[in-house]
Amino acid sequence: GVLEDHLIHECLIIVLCPLKVAAHEGVMLSDPVRHSHYCFTLLTSYIVDTPEAMMLAAVGRKTSPVTMAMYKQFGDSFHHGPHT
């Protein structure tokens, strides 16, 4: 329900906090030959299944979690705008 979804979002905020700090302030990372580089981790990935993606995007059933398309528009020949 709504409280479960809120709890998941709060947990993600806690877990992703170090990544947000690293993206903003940078972090020292070593490459395969052990040279240190100052890096900004701007891009990360998160793999989810469709129900979890819909919950994270806060969209209802039969709605795309990544675009504004509804289920009746899934076969359209043009690109629908992204969720923001």
Write the CA distances from 16 to 23, 41, 47, 60, 81, integer angstroms: 11, 12, 14, 24, 26
Residue 69, class by beta-carbon neighbours within 10 Å (0-12 exposed, 13-18 middle, 19+ buried)? middle
- Per-residue model confidence (pLDDT) at position 43: 66
The whole-model pTM stands at: 0.50
- Per-residue model confidence as pLDDT tens digits over 15-55: 888 888 888 899 999 999 999 999 888 766 777 777 787 77
63: confidence class by pLDDT, cuts 50, 70, 90: confident
